[in-house]
């Protein structure tokens, strides 16, 4: 890849990693199984399920504005692509979005510039793109549902404050960009496991958390 590898990137090469997103299928008991077994990245509100995680990611400046005081003592990396958030909260680390023109970031999977990822229109996609740049061996996805479950949008319910809640159209867009990235992840030799049995994202193997840990001998 071009450029220099950011100095804050962790050394997770050839390791298995879990990502805990916000889908309604998540069970705290499954998240608890991950502790001490492998690096874990939490997205947005899922820091509440794993305050011991290795990294916390949110692409939303408003999320950091509203939540920073609650997560300022989070012990892992705090990561965002938002330049305004990084300027206001200097302990945040920054990824970058590639832009085809100013204000028009690309949405597809990117592997040719260190620290630069495609948006996929959601944090979950961005984290997967970042982990691929780290050279991980496998990625376990929790809460990547791509749909509602009953009347729930997230495991924590709807955002009650100014944060946006996804629509069905947004879910479909997320699903499409992840499916677009799947062949590239396979070509990199990264084993992708979707641990949500309710997910509409069908491009990855679907295996429950406990069975995946056993499969990976963790």
Q: What is the average pLDDT score of the chain?
A: 89
pLDDT per residue as tens digits for the range 2-43: 999 999 999 999 999 999 998 888 889 999 999 999 999 999
User: Quick one: pLDDT band at residue 69, thresholds 50, 70, 90?
Assistant: very high
Q: What is the mean pLDDT of residues 56-68?
A: 91
* Residue 164, CA atoms < 13 Å, CB-side half-sphere: 12
CA 122 distance to own-chain centroid: 8
User: Quick one: pLDDT band at residue 153, thresholds 50, 70, 90?
Assistant: low
In the predicted structure, residue 127 carries a pLDDT above the cut 80: yes
Please tell me the predicted confidence (pLDDT) of residue 202.
83
Q: What is the mean pLDDT of residues 59-81?
A: 94
Residue length of the chain: 218
Contacts 24+ apart (CB under 8 A), 171-175: 171/146, 171/147, 171/200, 173/121, 174/120, 174/121, 174/122, 174/124, 174/125, 174/146, 175/146, 175/200, 175/201
Distances (CA, A) of 9 to 5, 116, 176, 199: 7, 12, 28, 30
Domains of the chain: 16-215 (3.90.1480)
Please tell me the predicted confidence (pLDDT) of residue 215.
98
Q: Report the alpha-carbon distance of residue 94 to residue 92 in Å, rounded.
A: 6
Q: Report the alpha-carbon distance of residue 156 to residue 137 in Å, rounded.
A: 30
Q: What is the mean pLDDT of residues 50-70?
A: 94
């Amino acid at each position: 890849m071009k450029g220099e590898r950011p100095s804050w990137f962790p050394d997770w090469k050839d390791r298995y990693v879990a990502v805990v997103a916000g889908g309604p299928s998540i069970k705290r008991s499954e998240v608890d199984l991950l502790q001490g077994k492998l690096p874990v990245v939490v997205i947005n509100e899922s820091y509440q399920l794993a305050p011991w995680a290795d990294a916390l990611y949110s692409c939303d400046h408003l999320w950091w504005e509203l939540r920073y005081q609650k997560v300022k003592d989070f012990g892992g990396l705090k990561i965002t692509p938002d330049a305004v958030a990084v300027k206001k909260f200097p302990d945040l680390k920054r990824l970058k979005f590639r832009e085809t023109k100013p204000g028009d970031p690309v949405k597809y999977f990117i592997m040719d510039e260190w620290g630069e990822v495609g948006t996929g229109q959601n944090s979950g996609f961005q984290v997967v793109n970042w982990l691929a740049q780290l050279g991980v061996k496998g990625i376990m996805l929790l809460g990547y549902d791509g749909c509602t479950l009953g009347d729930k949008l997230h495991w924590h319910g709807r955002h009650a404050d100014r944060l946006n809640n996804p629509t069905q159209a947004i879910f479909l867009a997320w699903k499409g960009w992840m499916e677009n990235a799947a062949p590239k992840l396979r070509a990199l030799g990264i084993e992708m496991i979707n641990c949500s049995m309710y997910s509409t994202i069908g491009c990855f193997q679907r295996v429950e958390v406990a069975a995946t840990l056993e499969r990976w001998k963790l």
